[in-house]
Amino acid sequence: MSSMRPVRNDWSREEIEALYQQPFLDLVFEAQRVHREHFAANTIQVSTLLSIKTGKCPEDCKYCSQSAHYDSQLEAEKRIAVEKVIQEAKEALESGSSRFCMGAAWRNPHERDMPYVLEMVREVKALGLETCMTLGMLNQSQAERLKDAGLDYYNHNLDTSREYYANIISTRSFDDRLNTLEHVRNAGMKVCSGGIVGLGEDTQDRIGLLHELATLPIHPESVPINMLVPIEGTPLADVEKLDVTEWIRTIAVARIIMPTSYIRLSAGRESLSDSDQALAFMAGANSLFSGEKLLTTPNAGEGKDRQLFQKLGLVAEKAKPTVQELSVDAMAV
Ligand code: SAM
Ligand code: DTB
Ligand code: SF4
């Protein structure tokens, strides 16, 4: 049996390119081998997403339905009530999710929004769910307050390579994103960071994105690999569809170079067949978003996912028991 190799943060671009360009089946085979060194086979972490503030975002991300810069026909919504969030979180827990991820279309949270998000974190956490938020850029103090309230993960993607980045977003820089990730890390939260493929980028950009992620001082614990969901009215509405094998290659390389991270099948599952998704799991993806909706676009509903899991013999990772449940268990012993 081969011995487990150490986790590395010193990958060179050439090494990553060589992994990416090898024959597809060799790549997927190697990714599954690495996967089984670090994770239980056939087990998938399931998160549910909820948009807590939708649309009218001041940022100009060219792929996004929520940017105020484009006319995507999206109906904007103000901050939704905390009670509504809790109700949705309870439903997510009942349907088998172990993590609840709350997203807001902000450049960054304003100070006036902090009590709102902190209360939400406390209450979702108390249900026994892992908590995740994606609210745009964070300063150090905001990151610390979120951590203290019980936020487990913060999602902030690099999106694409440093070189391609300016073609996609002009209102915040690549370094702004790295700074937010540093604040999240310093605060002691887990990092969820990945990107999107299918933006019109080339192979070198996908390699560049993977290189940035794998050479962070600590790998993100969760790495979402989104496939562009084209949104009418945005500048990327008509970009040529990327071949699905390129997405699978990106996932497989992420699995090999960040062997202890959860690799997340994110946006884009709606356009994939069950066998495409099975191949992504084979390539080492081991988490996904379940539920009828991502933030603003449709997602494979719970029923469809249950069928997929059954068909492939996959099991969802369990949510941690609540403090209340733990004390009941303790009393039973
Ligand atoms: N507004 C926050 C931010 O961008 O920092 C958080 C929410 S934003 C919607 C989270 C991520 O979703 C983006 O970084 C991008 O990777 C992904 N995303 C957004 N729109 C997408 C689309 N149309 N297709 C695929 N991925 C998308
Ligand atoms: C991530 O990387 N993908 C999720 C989550 N993080 C917040 C969002 C996907 C959004 C897809 C487009 C939409 O539904 O608006
Ligand atoms: Fe705003 Fe996030 Fe959409 Fe960019 S991706 S426009 S920051 S909601």
- Count structural domains, the chain: 1
Among residues 5, 33, 64, 172, which one is catalytic? Answer: 64
Residue 94: domain span? 11-318
In the residue annotation, 57 being an active-site residue is answered as yes
What is the model's pLDDT at position 159? 97
324 within some domain: no
Name which residue sits closest to atom 2 of ligand 3, judged by CA: 105
Residue 306 lies in a domain: yes
Note if 264 is an active site residue: yes
Residue 3 lies in a domain: no
User: Does residue 298 sit within a domain?
Assistant: yes
Give the pLDDT confidence score for residue 320 in this predicted structure: 62
- The domain that contains 307 carries what CATH number? 3.20.20.70
How high is the pLDDT of residue 283? 97
* Whole-angstrom distance, CA of residue 266 vs CA of residue 146: 24
Annotated binding site for [4Fe-4S] cluster: 57, 61, 64
- Out of 99, 101, 249, 255, the active site residue is 101
pLDDT mean values, one per 10 residues, the chain (333 residues)? 76 97 97 95 92 93 94 87 94 88 96 96 94 97 96 97 96 97 96 97 98 97 96 94 96 97 92 93 94 85 85 86 50 47
Q: What is the pLDDT of residue 1?
A: 44
Task: Give residue 6's pLDDT.
Answer: 85
Catalytic residue among 99, 145, 177, 192: 192
Query: Residue 110: inside a domain, yes or no?
Result: yes
* 330 lies in some domain: no
Q: Provide the residue type at 129 as one letter.
A: L
Q: Residues comprising the binding site? A: 57, 61, 64, 101, 132, 192, 264
User: Which ligand 3 atom is nearest residue 295's CA?
Assistant: 8
**2 alpha carbon to ligand 1 midpoint, in Å?**
38
Active-site residue, 162 included: no
Q: What is the pTM (predicted TM-score) of this model?
A: 0.93
Give domain status of residue 327, yes or no. Answer: no
Annotated active-site residue 172? The verdict is no
